[in-house]
Amino acid sequence: MFGNFRRNSSVRMRSKITNTMNQLHSSLVTLILSLLILAPFNTSDAQVKDKMEKELNKIIYFDADIDFEKVPGMVIGIIQGDSTYVYSYGSMSMAEDIMLKNNTIFELGGITKVFTASLVELLVEEGLMDYKTSLNEYLPKAIINDKSDITLLEAITHTAGFPRLPHGIGKREREANNPYAYYAKADLHEFYKNYYPIDEDETRYQYSHVTYALIETAIENVTGQRFEEVLTEKLLMPLGLEDTNIRLTEEQKSRLSLGYNILGNKTKPWRFSSFKGSVGMKSTVDDMLAFLSVQMGNGNTQLAKSFADMHEPMHKTEIAKNNYISKAWHVIKKKNHSIVLHAGSTSGHQAFAGFVKETNTGVVILSNSENSTNSLGYLILRSLNQNWRKPKARL
C-alpha cells in the first residue's frame, strides 16, 4: 500500500522553522524509524506522515543545512517497508511559487547509468551480451579499437581505464551548459577508435561517462534498434515508468522543472547527440520510487530477480572508506547493511537515489538546482536506519 503525502514548503514555513532554531535540537539519533514502529499502534497514518515531515525538516534545515536561496525546490520520496511517502519543498521557479509535484519531471544525469546497466543485465539474460566478452565484439567493426581489450563488465563497473569525458569534447560545445548537444556519435566513435587505455590495473576504479556512451552504441548494434526503443520495450514499459525517458512528449515537457546552475541562473534542458545512455534520462519521483522498489527486490518479481546481483560489491573505489562499485551502483559497506546509491547532476538539476535492501528502506531526491543535495539523501537514509543500527527486516 502506497501513501503519497504532498506538502509544499512555503516561505512562511521556512520562516517559522528559522525562528524556532534555538528551541530545537536536531539529532540523527531521533529517528524516523522509531516513529514508524510506534505509529501503527498509537497514531493514524496522517499523524505518521506529519511526524515524519517534522523529522525531515530537522534534517533539511539543520543537519544538511539546505539553502533554499540556492536550491529553489526539491521533491523527496521515501520508501519504508510497503509504504511510500512524497514531500515537496520550495518551488519550481525562483520567480514565482509553483509547487513541485509527484509528476514533475527532472533530469537524472549520471543516474541514467543504473538504467542502462539494468538493461544490459536483461540483455545478458537473453544471451545477447556477455559480461566476459570484449566490448569490441559488440561495436560496429568500423570503430573497433585494436588497442583496447576491455570487457563489457569492466565498462559497466568503471574499471576500463577510460576518462570521464572524451578529450576535446569542449571544442564541440556551441551552447553554454549543454555539453552533449553537438558532440555527435561519430565524434565519440572516433575518440574510442584512437584511444589507448593508460591504466593497466583492471580493478582500478575510474568513473567514466565514456564507457556508458559506448555501451549505448553496443546495445544498438546488438539489437538493431535505437537505444531508446530497447530501453522502453525491455525496461521502462514492463515497470510501468511512463514518465521516464530520454525524449519527452510535448505534455511531459510542460511538466519538466526549470533548472538553475550553481550561480542561480536559469538553464536550458540538456540535449543529446550522444551520451544518452550515460547521462540522458529524465524522470519523476513516483517513477524513481517504483524503479528503486524493484531494485530492492519488490514489485515486478521477474525483473527483481534479474537485478538481484547488480548490487554486489565488486571493486573498491577511492571515494571513501568501504566504498565499492557494483554494476553501475555504488555500495557502502557497513556492519549490518549495504548502502546502495547513485547520484546525478546536469547544469540545472540534481538527483539522488539510495536504498538498503536489508531494511527495505529507500530515498529519492530530485531538485532543480546544480547545487548538490547528495548529503541530504544520505542523511535521510541513515536516519531511516537508526544511524545504521537498524536490524535487518524479518522475512
Q: Give the architecture-level CATH label for domain 93-323.
A: 3-Layer(aba) Sandwich (3.40)
Supply the pLDDT for residue 44.
60
pTM as predicted: 0.87
> Could you tell me the three cell numbers for 85?
511517502
Task: From first to last of the 395 residues of the chain, give the pLDDT tens digit.
Answer: 333 333 344 333 343 334 433 333 343 333 343 433 333 434 466 777 788 888 899 899 888 878 888 899 999 999 998 889 999 999 999 988 999 999 999 999 999 999 999 999 999 999 999 999 999 999 999 999 998 889 999 999 999 999 999 999 998 988 888 999 999 999 999 999 999 877 656 668 999 999 999 999 999 999 999 999 999 999 999 999 999 999 999 999 999 999 999 999 999 999 999 999 999 999 999 999 999 999 999 987 899 999 999 999 999 997 778 999 999 999 999 888 899 999 999 999 999 999 999 999 999 999 999 998 889 999 999 999 988 876 666 44
Contact call for residues 282 and 106 (beta carbons, < 8 A):
yes
Only one residue has cell 570484449, namely 134
Supply the pLDDT for residue 21.
37
Rounded Cα–Cα distance for residues 97 and 88 (Å): 12
Exposure on the CB side of residue 282, measured as CA atoms within 13 A:
24
Kindly report, as residue ranges, where domains of CATH 3.40.710.10 are found in the chain.
93-323
Supply the pLDDT for residue 34.
40
DSSP state of 369: B
Q: Around Cβ 224, how many Cβ atoms within 10 Å?
A: 8
Rounded Cα–Cα distance for residues 283 and 100 (Å): 13
Supply the pLDDT for residue 199.
60
Supply the pLDDT for residue 393.
61
Supply the pLDDT for residue 23.
39
Supply the pLDDT for residue 336.
83
Rounded Cα–Cα distance for residues 298 and 278 (Å): 25
Rounded Cα–Cα distance for residues 225 and 143 (Å): 18
3-state secondary structure of 340: strand
Rounded Cα–Cα distance for residues 37 and 52 (Å): 12
Supply the pLDDT for residue 308.
93
